[in-house]
Amino acid sequence: MGRIRRLTGERRVGHAGTLDPAATGVLPVAVGSATRVLEFVSDAAKSYVAEITFGVETDTFDADGQVTGVKDPSALDLTEVARVLQAFLGSQRQVPPMYSAVRVGGRRLYEEARQGKTVDRPARPVVFHQLDVLAWDPPTVTVYVECSKGTYVRSLAQDLGVALGVGAHLSALVRMKAGVFTLCQAWTLQELAGLDLASVWAEVALHPDVVLDEWPALILNDAGANDWSRGNAVAALRMEERCRVYDEEGEWLGVGAGHPETQAWRPTKVTAVAP
């Protein structure tokens, strides 16, 4: 984030989720007021292309770790791999890897792992929306993964290897999509460093409300926009769980939550302050 701050000259910078050091792909970065919507990107589903290699297990569940087990995967065939992989579809309980940023007892798991410790950690609910085999080059399978937030694809590789009885690790990973952001939209830090960002910002950056594109929109007149910008609720003719809010000129005013008991929209995030 330090490089983004230097490139943009903006102190308020954040990102939605992290990528393992060996992984590449989409990492949404928010600058300025866009940091107000990061939580909605973090909650969104993510998509990956994952390369899983059978026969070798590691302590980190990926290629960066120390080898902890080796077995012969030569008897595996694609039909069996695909069949077992499909068993992971849907809602699952997943144990996070020891080398992860999850906190247990107030400490990051990777801090304990680096000291040679193994900590009991509770399984967490995750959802695999899609698991499709893209390629089979024994002993490696390439899989398209679409999953919920908080999912560790490294753990999927480890669990798949255990289920097939030969062990496995994640040998490569590319994040293709995070919420509405896709790899084809992404910029590298090197590309950004070569641009005059002040003059091309509209081409490089997306408006913060893009992450709310599927939400209903509430358009307020001058009086309503003034009330909203002061943090006051406005009457609702139609009630939804949440909405994105604009004035009649199209300026984004923030995010609201519906309150059926009062038939009103209440501001949860205000991005434009009334004069």
Given the residues 20, 62, 209, 247, the one annotated as active site:
20
**Burial of residue 202, with CB atoms counted within 10 A of its CB: 0-12 exposed, 13-18 middle, 19 or more buried:** exposed
Question: Is the Cβ–Cβ distance between 24 and 134 less than 8 Å?
Answer: no
77 is catalytic: no
Q: Rounded to an integer, what distance in angstroms lies between the CA atom of residue 119 and that of residue 113?
A: 8
**Which residues are identified as catalytic?**
20
